[in-house]
Amino acid sequence: MTQVYNRKTFDEVMVPNYAPGAMIPVRGEGSRVWDQNGREYIDFAGGIAVNALGHCHPALVEVLTDQANTLWHLSNVWTNEPAIQLAQQLCQLTFADKVYFANSGAEANEAALKLARKYAHDHFGAKKHKIISFINAFHGRTLFTVSAGGQAKYREGFEPTVPGIQHLPFNDSDALRAAMDDDVCAVIMEPLQGEGGILPAHPDFARTARELCDKHNALLIFDEIQTGVGRTGELYAYIGLGVEPDILTTAKALGGGFPIGAMLCRDAVAKSFGVGSHGSTYGGNPLACRVASKVLEIISDEKLLFGVQERHRLLVNGLEDLNRRIGLFRQVRGQGLLLGCELQPEYAGRARELLNLAQEQGLMVLIAGPDVLRLAPSLIIPEQDITQGLQRLGTAMEHFKAGAAEG
């Protein structure tokens, strides 16, 4: 008898920290996904900005299969060719001189925060340990990264959190100037806050952060877990901002769906992570690095990045057309193919309802907090899928509006 796996099975065997929908996807191709019943969905969620080349991209399947038949894992007792190749690519394509590999964005941010404190300790002493972060920021779920994150709901019940971290209003240069002093070892920020509501950093604010870090011998850390690897139409969002960090973290899209994270930094900073100071058993394993190398090769192409901007315009124009007709959103914002649709105040807190209605119409979307519908589709999503996905979203919006009126 064939075992049936469903949402009830999930509740029986899984820790209840997630609350997934009843629908269980079983197959994906490009920007389409099929569930256990064979129903098709258009994917505007992209695995939370992970599936940058869609599902089962042939080039990724090919290199993954080849590497799976060659070498899977060695640990950091030895290095491997795919890891060296990927690190070299990242250095050639960015400001960085050195790379550290991890398995996730949280691990990459954990490494970045530890490195910042270690660098400050090495050069200026133990007193220089303060970290400045920003309200609504999200940097991961480890104790250090959840402490650095600017959303109290993720810290509740896990106190005491890591000390020495101050949270300031995002995009407030005056608040940052007032808080900076010589005891600050790092400022960590997202070029575009993802989980916090799809809020782009103002270029002036990013430049102020860079100037203040230079003035006070602090390191500027850009968390590009969600914005990196083509998501904003630049290979990394800092390029569009025109502000270089000292440390950058990247994950999500870097593996195109295969788990990998990386921390990039300048050579002078990297020296504080001497032998034995930090590590990861799986970080830099050949399977992950081989796939990520191919992802980076594909996405760094200028034509693909230009295509992200074209799709951005198509998607934003379509969303604004829907909103003019139906009138649910206060604002459509974001960069590239990371977009947020903020609900009007009268619908505050109901973004998940709209997500569920979209799923009923055969469209997968995300939320970014209770008030914002988030879209993060494949960077190469076909235009016909955008058009059809917007039609399905429009139907969901109409149903939402009708339900709200009845309520």
Residues tagged active-site: 138, 223, 252
225 DSSP 8-state letter: T
* 261 vs 145: CA distance, rounded Å: 14
Strands 40-43 and 32-35: antiparallel
What are the beta bridge partners of residue 247? 221, 265
Q: What DSSP line would sit under 35-104, residue for residue?
A: ETT--EEEESSHHHHT-TT-BS-HHHHHHHHHHHTT-----TTS--HHHHHHHHHHHHHSS-SEEEEESS
Distance (Å, rounded) from C-alpha 282 to C-alpha 80? 12
CB-based burial label for 304 (10 Å; 0-12, 13-18, 19+): middle
How far apart, in whole angstroms, are the C-alpha atoms of residue 157 and residue 146?
12
Q: How far apart, in whole angstroms, are the C-alpha atoms of residue 95 and residue 220? A: 13
Query: CA 322 to CA 149: how far, in whole Å?
Result: 34
What does the alpha-carbon distance between residue 278 and residue 275 come to, in Å, rounded to a whole number? 8
> What does DSSP say about strands 165-168 and 130-134: parallel, antiparallel, or unpaired?
parallel
**How far apart (Å, rounded) are the C-alpha atoms in residues 350 and 330?**
13
Spatial CA neighbour of 99 closest among 293, 241, 234, 243: 293
Measuring CA to CA, how many Å separate 19 from each of 11, 41, 43, 331? 9, 20, 19, 28
Q: Is 259 left (phi over 0), alpha (psi -120 to 50) or beta?
A: beta
Q: What sign for the dihedral angle of Cα 247, 200, 227, 281?
A: positive
The C-alpha torsion from 16 through 22 and 28 to 34, rounded to 10°, is 170
Phi, psi of 286 (to 5 degrees): -60, -40
